[in-house]
Structure 1
Amino acid sequence: MNDTDYKAFYDRVGQANGWDFSRLKVRVAGEQADIYEEAKRMCRKSDLLLDIGTGGGEAILAIRDAALLLVGIDRSQGMIQTARANLANAGATNVRFVHMEAEQLGFPEQFFDIATCRHAGFSAREVAKVLSREGLFITQQVAEGDKLNLKQAFGRGQSDGEPDGTLLRKYRLELEAAGFRDIRTKEYVTVEYYQTPEDLIFLLKHTPIIPGFGQEQGDFEVLRAFMEENRTDKGIRTNAKRFMISARNAADLGG
């Protein structure tokens, strides 16, 4: 999936449901990554928080009491429309959503105390620019080892062909180059059991795990065979792999 195709796909998902997968019935075995619980734990009530790739905004709306102001940005106008609708329904007064590219953050220097980014791209140098000295950046990303049995069944998938750990190393190097310090990483591997075929189909239609799912001839036959092979008494089995990176801003903006 090239960048143009991904933007179109992402915008459709944004208009449909944001990143709200609460309707999915899935059991998870193992410790799960939860960037927003970590952000909530690290936040002070006086902090200003930036969320990069906020999607439908559900996550920062859920932790809005943790900070003084929370600003979510997203590259997709569809996502921002959904986020603003969610904001209106929530009635939160300290949350804002802005249509903006992560590669060009239009905020004053050192404006935010904490920045988060879940399952979206970011520019380490842009984050360093808008984050306060000693400010905290936390990102959670999908590792290459995610949904391995699904990718093998379809013969294609997100990060297809990339060795596991490639993205983690890339982001760590970029953060170091941007002047971040105290960089910490943690990986999370879980087993997921989707309770019904509809749950798995919803996941595949609303994420880029299998690019163009449903558009290639034979996709649903492959999925049927996959579900039969991976059906257990707990549900339809696959895996999730995530990693989290936290880092402190030590960039010299005057340099």
Structure 2
Amino acid sequence: MNGWDFSKLQVISEGVEWEFYEEVRKNSKNTDVLLDIGTGGGEGLLSIASSLLLTVGVDLSKSMVETAKENLEKSEITNVKFLQMNSDDLQFPAGFFDVISCRHAPFSAVEVAKVLKRGGIFLSQQVSEADKLNIKQVFGRGQAFHEPDGNLKATYIQDLKEAGFSKVQSYDYNAKNYFQRPEDLVFLLQHTPIIPNFGNRIEDGMILEEFIRSNRTIKGICTNEKRFLIIAEK
């Protein structure tokens, strides 16, 4: 995404039904070669690299790849490579990977099918249209705010089937997020596309203050986290 460290956010989640890279690990063998599309700073990939033979992370952002390489150097892990690459043009031999993962990043089903082995597994977690819905409603704008919930999932499933995937399964969760401090919520909005150009409008600060007042609970400032997971076999 942006190279920002979201791990320092103080947020309590209830109802999260899976951890994406743990799902990737469970669907992989220690003899597998894995590609991670939209790898960002590489933290997720590095967390499971020891369970695989070889892993490659690609991201369109040059700065993200630089961050990932810095994280790799600190980790001293030896079976990971990070490359700057467009997911619409994957520069690898056909059928090179046993497993491909993609978390919160766009992908081309055709390109994924091209570089995945027959019988290989593709896993993708994406943000649903109804994610952070109460925030988008109070601002009157937001990422996919006017899109029907489920459109993106349906589109990706159709694309994967047309690209030759024989078995495509999907899962959803709609969890609660409780942000512990206003600054945690501000950081999230500043460094994600949830509210486009957050802070550029004079009224944004006042709208956020009203949102915090209206949604503050004993557990924290409440919003939702809606995700879907696709697991497809070629």
TM-score over 0.5 for the pair: yes
Letter in 2 for 1:73: V
Where 1:43 maps in the other structure, the secondary structure is: coil
Secondary structure at 2:149 match in 1:
coil
CA contact (8 A) 2:130 2:145 kept: no
The question of whether the paired residues in 2 share the 8 Å contact of 1:33 and 1:140 is answered with no
Contact preservation (8 Å) 1:58, 1:86: yes
Tell me what 2:109 maps to. 124
**CA distance, structure 2, for counterparts of residue 185 and residue 198 of structure 1:** 34
CA distance in 2, matches of 1:78, 1:217: 30
Report the counterpart of residue 219 of structure 1 in structure 2: 204
2:20 matches 1:35: yes
Say whether residues 1:228 and 2:202 are aligned partners: no
Q: Deviations over 1:197-227 (max 9, x none)?
A: 1111111111110111111111111111100
1:35, distance to aligned residue in structure 2 (A): 1.7
Runs of 5+ consecutive residues of structure 2 not aligned to the other structure: none
Distance, in Å, in 1 between the alignment partners of 2:167 and 2:6 is: 33
Does 2:176 align with 1:204? no
- Any unmatched runs of 5+ in structure 1? 1-9, 250-255
Structure 2 equivalent of residue 141 of structure 1? 126
Equivalence for 1:164 = 149
Structure-1 residue corresponding to 2:95: 110
AA at the equivalent of 2:123? I
Contact kept? 1:102, 1:123, Cα under 8 Å: yes
The separation in 1 between residues aligned to 2:48 and 2:131, in whole angstroms, is 27
> Is the 1:143–1:241 contact (alpha carbons within 8 Å) kept by the matching residues of 2?
yes
Matched, 1:69 2:25: no
Size of the alignment, in residue pairs?
A: 234
> CA–CA distance in 1 between the matches of 2:88 and 2:19?
24
**TM-score, structure 1 normalization:** 0.90
Supply the distance in 2 between the matched residues of 1:33 and 1:239 (Cα, whole angstroms). Answer: 15
CA-CA distance at 1:32 after TM superposition: 3.5
Q: What is the percentage of aligned positions where both structures have the same residue?
A: 51
C-alpha deviation, 1:160, in angstroms: 1.7
Shift, 1:66, TM fit: 1.1
Tell me, what secondary structure is at the counterpart of 1:171? helix
* Counterpart-to-counterpart distance in 1, 2:143 and 2:129: 8
Amino acid aligned to 1:234? K
Report the AA paired with residue 98 of structure 1.
L
| Structure 2 partner of 1:26 | 11
Q: State the AA in 2 paired with 1:104.
A: D
> Normalization by structure 2: what TM-score?
0.98
Question: 1:6: which partner in 2?
Answer: none
Residue of structure 2 equivalent to 1:189: 174
One-letter identity of the residue aligned with 1:80: V
| Equivalent pair of 2:99/2:121 in contact (CA under 8 Å) | yes
Match of 1:50 among 30, 35, 39: 35
The structural deviation recorded for 1:88 is: 0.8
CA deviation digits over 1:148-193, x for unaligned, max 9? 0000111110012000000000000000000001100001110110
Matched, 1:86 2:47: no
Deviation at 1:31, TM superposition (A): 2.8
Q: Distance in 2 between matches of 1:136 and 1:109?
A: 15
